[in-house]
Structure 1
């Protein structure tokens, strides 16, 4: 199996995969996976994707076994080095030279395998596994840097078709590393830079765009990475302002080539959702579900999105339907699914919940016991949900005020629903009703102050989306001034400062915006979902460019 034939065959397998023929793709790659590095990497990549979707231990074990075999296959094609050279590279690494084309591609495939092994290693609970994963990521990054140097030094290779595939792989690897690292808050990024990493967002985006346009085997991987960045990362860990025009342009050629491909239908629906076209998004997600039965995990991704599209419309009965399916079928985060199901039911009248045969209190009580651990750590969103559900474990449970809307905020959903003013107005009416009930409560619980602040924060978000800035600012300031009254939801004040900072940015007062963001970043510690807020603050400050660097952070005690 020569290199050129291997690349052509893997392209066939990729087309099978994108046409929902997942088993056929694996079967096509199987005969050569122990003899061809590209067949090996293609085969193990599909298993890694499957393991990431199912979270099933048997799938994770199968993927890890396949990756170990792929690593051995790639190693056979790499340039052999002596003991002295190997030890020297541990301390002073320099790009390999005089490599054959086959050896260059072996380096690239080896780096991919290391990166995938690192990702799977992080699913283990032990700190040893966490350290192993970190070392693999560093080794992968260093090999990618070597490959980048080789790609730049060999632009005029005789076989340009092979070089296009090599260059496309470098684009994907270097671009992904730079993009991911650029998302990290500055204090983490400084540590990563000390360890030899660097993160330049514009460089990362540029490399991935080149990779997506390169017509190489890995073009689709660069495209999917960019789509994930634009349609998920910037929404959940950023300011919520997705680049939908670029996402549509990236997806367009694949819509023509794979009109019924599940991944393509899924991202088409996600773009529609973020544009506020919820009806079309629902139709596309249902089409994605109908397109294939082989990987039920793709159905689960659609259930999650459908749950949110109906939640944005406050169609709680339909939202419950998909939350219920997730809680029964998906292993990804049972704690979140059960909490979400209970939160949605909390928005329905009690008699309707009774008809569904559900017990909201019992569902909330299950949440803490369903939490997962990754690299020995609790998942922040699950930890948040478990803490919110604690009040149902009391002998006299205290109801959460608007839990489904609060979780909508956790996932930055108010920026999405803001595209539809009539739905934002409807959610505001729900919040005003909750505010009135809290005000008229004859026996306020110890959670009363927290609940009042939750409602004020969410009201402020709706009012800001509706352009009612003065009223929004009033709501945000009520939360901040109530800091001493908050007993449980310690995330509220720093998150509200962040939202107030965005409001000041919207008004054009950049100095006030930066001061609030820096205050939230520097003066608050150990609150729920702290890392998520630091990601969002980092993204917001980046949108203010060089101006943010000129404003010194406030370091007064909180």
Structure 2
């Protein structure tokens, strides 16, 4: 700093404007020295450092909802592996939010191009065991391209069979991350200027692989272990946590994976016990820095939703929609969650409103949206239905024709909706007893309402009404299936209210009628799963494991089988932890209140 209290170019301007001043020559000489040092420093910085800095700036634009500006900044560099990877990552995020086949195709092609750029920067000789800094970064970027291409495959197929079929490419990614992790642990490794970004990349990959593999159902896990994969959930979470704590390019992705795990994967593919406190801690710094950032407002809403604070969640999702208009896919994600929030509140008209918005604007699953619209109309009175242009029966009949395939595969949720809608194809359709409440179970929504007594009691009342209506109608070929469905859902509500003996009675009722169920065969393994989870809560560990093992081994080829197996795996993991610790988790405050 010069005596005129200015820096660099400001000092030079000061000297020029005050040529006769007492410090003009001193300022002139001083500022020239400063500028020379700055130029020397810039020239000495590597292209890699400058690329990383520019990508960090582009990411900042993206998180401020300036999506087009961020992409334009990343497109300007033709041979930068970090620009190519970051640009492809943004396109992949877009594809994951829209499920649009065109977006998925573009993201996949762009990621392939990024992979080719990374390949050009990788180590040329396999004989040398040492890496330059650029080669290390090329390795981690190359592995990340492969990992993200695998994630696109996972997007298309829930049971991850396609992920395994990726074969050598996915295995290469896994092996590269393992090798780079060993490099970081080696005493011969010397930290270079951009060590933090490199280490963050390794933690992202190692953490993601360990976390994803650890969640796989046992039969799929045995297959991946056979070809050399292994996964440790705790280690994966630790790696991602460490990666998210640093100010690096990958910190955001580590953070997003953790948030997705705690607020989605552990709920939809697990027992519904994500760490909400950890999710809030991860989110707060970003929400403070980017108060209007769509991504962070969305996760803020999701956290409030799974806590059972539905009004606050609705407000957050609405804020997210208002924050920007460039990427409508953020709106669609919010519409989906708003639809469920109003479902949990039993506000069927508002739930229909958001299902209708999705059917008009989103490409993810027209069949699912049509099914949900019909499901909500089925919960309204005949007079209320007169205000809608569409009818319940017409919408249910549309569902099969709206089926789509992504990369040659049908969505499991669509298959489920089509099977259920078949009852409406005949001239005299037989109504489903409570279709929104059934689909709510598929998405593990009872874990959400279980946080609030009034929501659970309200849902139980609706199920009792459906039960009374079912009993007043003539018996049909679907009567036993419908009765077992209502028993499963009532058992869930009673479990969350703390009435555990009654809940167990309803789960057992499903098992007792197993041989009479004609269509909804998924009910039996899921009743075993829920019964097993109930036993775990009561400390009946041995009995719980028997029930879960029966659900895992004795049933196959039923609706949403992969999702059920993910949940069984999570429940068995919980049982193993119980066995190791010799204790079981206490019941929730709501359950405790109900027991009293």
TM-score by length of 1: 0.92
Q: Is 2:100 the partner of 1:69?
A: no
| 1:233 CA drift (Å) | 0.5
Q: Where do 1:39-54 residues align within 5 Å?
A: 39-54=83-98
Contact 1:121 1:132 in 2 (8 A): no
Q: Is 2:515 the partner of 1:484?
A: yes
For residues 333-385 of structure 1, the C-alpha deviation after alignment (integer angstroms, 9 at most, x for no partner) is: 11211111111111111221221111111211121222233454432221111
Whole-angstrom distance in 1 between the partners of 2:94 and 2:538: 46
Q: Is 2:198 the partner of 1:153?
A: no
Q: Where do 1:378-527 residues align within 5 Å?
A: 378-441=410-473, 443-527=474-558
For residues 401-433 of structure 1, the C-alpha deviation after alignment (integer angstroms, 9 at most, x for no partner) is: 000000111100001001110111111111111
Q: Work out which of the residue numbers 225, 240, 251 in structure 2 matches 1:193.
A: 225
Whole-angstrom distance in 1 between the partners of 2:242 and 2:253: 12
In structure 2, the partner of 1:14 is 59
What is the aligned-residue RMSD (CA, Å)?
2.1
Q: Is 2:311 the partner of 1:266?
A: no
Whole-angstrom distance in 2 between the partners of 1:292 and 1:244: 26
In structure 1, the partner of 2:357 is 325
3-state DSSP class of the match of 2:86? Answer: helix
C-alpha spacing 1:548/1:532, structure 2 compared with 1 (3 Å): farther
Contact 1:119 1:133 in 2 (8 A): no
| 1:530 CA drift (Å) | 1.4
Q: Is 2:255 the partner of 1:223?
A: yes
| 1:81 CA drift (Å) | 3.5
Whole-angstrom distance in 1 between the partners of 2:321 and 2:383: 32
3-state DSSP class of the match of 2:194? Answer: helix
C-alpha spacing 1:427/1:155, structure 2 compared with 1 (3 Å): farther
Whole-angstrom distance in 2 between the partners of 1:452 and 1:178: 41
Whole-angstrom distance in 2 between the partners of 1:280 and 1:502: 29
Contact 2:485 2:523 in 1 (8 A): yes
In structure 2, the partner of 1:28 is 73
Contact 1:130 1:375 in 2 (8 A): no
Contact 2:96 2:155 in 1 (8 A): no
Whole-angstrom distance in 2 between the partners of 1:158 and 1:171: 16
C-alpha spacing 1:464/1:56, structure 2 compared with 1 (3 Å): closer
3-state DSSP class of the match of 2:166? Answer: helix
Q: Is 2:208 the partner of 1:176?
A: yes
Contact 2:366 2:403 in 1 (8 A): yes
In structure 1, the partner of 2:378 is 346
3-state DSSP class of the match of 1:544? Answer: helix
Q: Is 2:404 the partner of 1:372?
A: yes
| 1:157 CA drift (Å) | 2.5
C-alpha spacing 1:430/1:379, structure 2 compared with 1 (3 Å): same
3-state DSSP class of the match of 1:398? Answer: coil
Contact 2:55 2:82 in 1 (8 A): yes
Q: Where do 1:170-319 residues align within 5 Å?
A: 170-319=202-351
| 1:111 CA drift (Å) | 1.0
Contact 2:183 2:189 in 1 (8 A): no
Q: Is 2:188 the partner of 1:144?
A: no
For residues 68-124 of structure 1, the C-alpha deviation after alignment (integer angstroms, 9 at most, x for no partner) is: 321221111111137xx7xxxxxxxxxx72110001000111111122233445678
Contact 1:316 1:344 in 2 (8 A): yes
Whole-angstrom distance in 2 between the partners of 1:50 and 1:31: 20
| 1:496 CA drift (Å) | 0.6
For residues 170-203 of structure 1, the C-alpha deviation after alignment (integer angstroms, 9 at most, x for no partner) is: 0000100000000011221111011111111111
C-alpha spacing 1:377/1:65, structure 2 compared with 1 (3 Å): closer
Contact 1:421 1:466 in 2 (8 A): yes
TM-score by length of 2: 0.86
C-alpha spacing 1:185/1:131, structure 2 compared with 1 (3 Å): closer
In structure 1, runs of 5+ residues without a counterpart are 86-95, 551-558
In structure 2, runs of 5+ residues without a counterpart are 1-45, 582-596
C-alpha spacing 1:120/1:539, structure 2 compared with 1 (3 Å): closer
| 1:217 CA drift (Å) | 1.0
Which structure's CA Rg is the greater one?
2
3-state DSSP class of the match of 1:106? Answer: helix
Contact 1:151 1:166 in 2 (8 A): no
Contact 1:323 1:340 in 2 (8 A): yes
Contact 1:514 1:548 in 2 (8 A): no
Whole-angstrom distance in 1 between the partners of 2:153 and 2:266: 25
Whole-angstrom distance in 1 between the partners of 2:312 and 2:174: 40
For residues 3-22 of structure 1, the C-alpha deviation after alignment (integer angstroms, 9 at most, x for no partner) is: 11111111101100000001
